Amino acid sequence: MGKDAISVVRQACRKFDHDGTRILDILWEVQQRLGCVSGETMDLLAAELSTHRIEIEGLVSFYSFFSEEKKGKIVIRLCDDIVDRFAGIERVAKVFSEELGIGIGETSTDENFSLEFTSCIGMSDQAPAALINETVVTGLTPESARVIARSLKKNLDPSALVKKKGDGSNADGLVNAMVKNNIRKKGEVLLADKVPAEAGLRKALKKKSEEVIQEVLDAGLRGRGGAGFSTGLKWSLARKAKDTRRFVICNADEGEPGTFKDRVLLTERADLIFEGMTIAAYAIGSTSGILYLRAEYAYLLPYLERVLTRRRRSGLLGKNIGGKKGFAFDIRIQLGGGAYICGEESALISSCEGLRGEPKTRPPFPVERGFLGHPTIVNNVETFCCAARILDGGPRWFAAMGTAKSSGTKLLSVAGDCAKPGIYEVPFGIGVADVLDMAGADEPTIVQVGGASGEMLNRGSFHRKICFEDLSTGGSFTTFNASRNLLKIVDYFLEFFVHESCGYCTPCRVGNVFLRERIQKIMEGYAVKADLDYLKDLSRTIIMTSRCGLGNTAPKPVLSSIDQFPVVYASLLGDGGEGLQAGFSIQKALEESRRIAKRTSMIYDPFYGGSSDESMA
């Protein structure tokens, strides 16, 4: 290990006071400056931080954005969301591959470039998209990919790729992104043109903290991440906890495929988010907060840091906030490492503590024992924004919108085959058909509400309503036209879960692999009716025995697609035929022999002597 590398590691450790809970930040520094966290680096980090190499290795191997192998100076991460796939990310990948002379998962020999696929980066409304280091590039075509690759080869500068900046704060010098907000419908609560600054906080500080919680309860606010737990109840439980060191955490780990509404709130409503967190801190009696920002949104970090600095200067963070004597609160931003599971609140807490992002055993729940063992509330970005608006507009105003059990408005991230993909702020209770109309959906045939862990709908279900009583969603709403292959969508979701399962518990770690295997068997045309029973049976075991929400919902794409599209499945099932045992694929069975013999079969391959058909591989 060179002297320079050693000093990079030591500097990073000093920067964070050798604090083991800040190890993710330290790993970010090291990864960015050295291109990897090698075995030697792990040894040094372990010594510097008084921990063990295996703990560091555990982290580096858990988070997608860290790597033990050396990565190129420029890492191109192509978004592998289903919308991006249908929008042609494969063709874009091919161009990058040709231009840079490397395949997916490879690093160029000059160590300038790495090319890889990554899970949804929150740009489904402008797909295909990619992350080039922290720079986002959107609306990619094979042609634009070629221009980008050539420009990068020339100057190795991703920021130079941003020619035309996006709207709103995307054009801010610290964001400097070509990302478009695509705000298609503004509602009264979040995206209205006039959202008065700090009005909610000012009103809250005039009330007792119990009264603040009561207002949130009266408004009927429920968690916007999708689970729909009562926000007021969560706050009151944390407030009642004996331990008076309490934490407020904002979940900005927006990882559900097809969701991008927090991206827009983070740029256009950053103050409202922090205002909501500050109100929550006042309500539960907390002095410190964390905004957990997903690694994919690292491009927003400098901008958000500046908003925090400005708030500190204006007396909206720090001591005696808003002139309220004795009320002190501050917020730090924790950058994630690339792991969908960290959107689960207890896994997010683990990650904030510098651990592998694995869910914690519950009970105890975070409101009793959360961050570093102290009572903690974790709420979604949108939830904090709603809370701030409730304190300003009043619970009655808020509860008048939406349905009986789902008050207020909801941000939907609409993407897929439609004329107007983007953000729609709609009152809860809106019908699926209405959303499709607004978005100008093209021949909507399959609609996925709630992302990978959500529900798949056929045409006969478009009367259903978006609310906690019917279809709950964290915001993802994806429409597919009649040309899209249902099984490809299901297979994508399962691939996503296999990749993003933390692996802690058996059913989620292993079961999802088996689900995917069987869906692929159906795609290949070798499945029989019994395979559907197998899928349902396996799904049930995974749902009932998994340890957290990821495993509890991972089989949903399988079950809801079988339920909603039985005819599609039936058309793909066979009875074996040609005297062969049902479900047996002679081609698949031959693959191994072909590989070992390094030649094709005289009987089963029509072009004997050539290489085996690629489609069989």
Partner 1 sequence: MSNGIVFTIDGVEVKGNAGQTIMDAADQAGIYIPRLCDVEGLEPQGSCRVCTVKVNGRPAAACTQPAADGIKVENATLEILNWRRDLIRMLFHEGNHLCPICEASGRCELQAMGYRLGILQPAKYPYLQPVRPIDASHPDIMLDTNRCIRCGRCIRASKDIDGKNVFGYVGRGIHKRVGVNGKNLAQTNVHLDDRAIALETCPVGCIIRKGLGFFTPIGQREFDRAPIGNAIEKTAVKKVKK
Contact footprint for partner 1 (CB under 8 A): 39, 52-55, 57-58, 61-62, 339, 356, 361, 363, 498-507, 509-511, 513-514, 517, 538, 541, 544-547
Radius of gyration for the alpha carbons in the chain, expressed in angstroms and rounded: 25
Residue 118's SS3 state is strand
Nearest alpha-carbon partner for 209 in 313, 312, 321, 290: 321
List strand residue ranges (DSSP E) for 306-445, in order.
330-335, 376-380, 409-416, 422-427, 430-431
CB of 341 to partner 1, least distance (A): 8
d(CA 604, CA 587): 8
CB of 333 to partner 1, least distance (A): 24
- Tokens 């495929």 belong to 257
CB of 277 to partner 1, least distance (A): 29
Cis omega before residue 364 (within 30°)? yes
If you ran DSSP here, which 8-state letter would residue 106 be given?
E
CB of 584 to partner 1, least distance (A): 13
d(CA 216, CA 231): 7
CB of 189 to partner 1, least distance (A): 34
Our CB check for partner 1 shows the closer of 201 and 347 to be: 347
Our CB check for partner 1 shows the closer of 275 and 500 to be: 500
Our CB check for partner 1 shows the closer of 156 and 589 to be: 589
Our CB check for partner 1 shows the closer of 224 and 356 to be: 356
CB of 398 to partner 1, least distance (A): 32
Total count of residues recorded for the chain: 617
Our CB check for partner 1 shows the closer of 60 and 149 to be: 60
CB of 90 to partner 1, least distance (A): 23
d(CA 102, CA 459): 43
CB of 505 to partner 1, least distance (A): 5
Strands 430-431 and 465-466: antiparallel
- Tokens 């509890």 belong to 552
Our CB check for partner 1 shows the closer of 60 and 100 to be: 60
Our CB check for partner 1 shows the closer of 317 and 532 to be: 532
CA angle 445, 424, 562 (to 5 degrees): 30
CB of 123 to partner 1, least distance (A): 23
Our CB check for partner 1 shows the closer of 265 and 535 to be: 535
Cis omega before residue 375 (within 30°)? no
CA angle 439, 415, 428 (to 5 degrees): 65
Decide if 549 contacts 448 (C-beta within 8 A).
Answer: no
List the structure tokens of 74: 């420029």
Nearest alpha-carbon partner for 275 in 245, 230, 316: 316
Our CB check for partner 1 shows the closer of 59 and 129 to be: 59
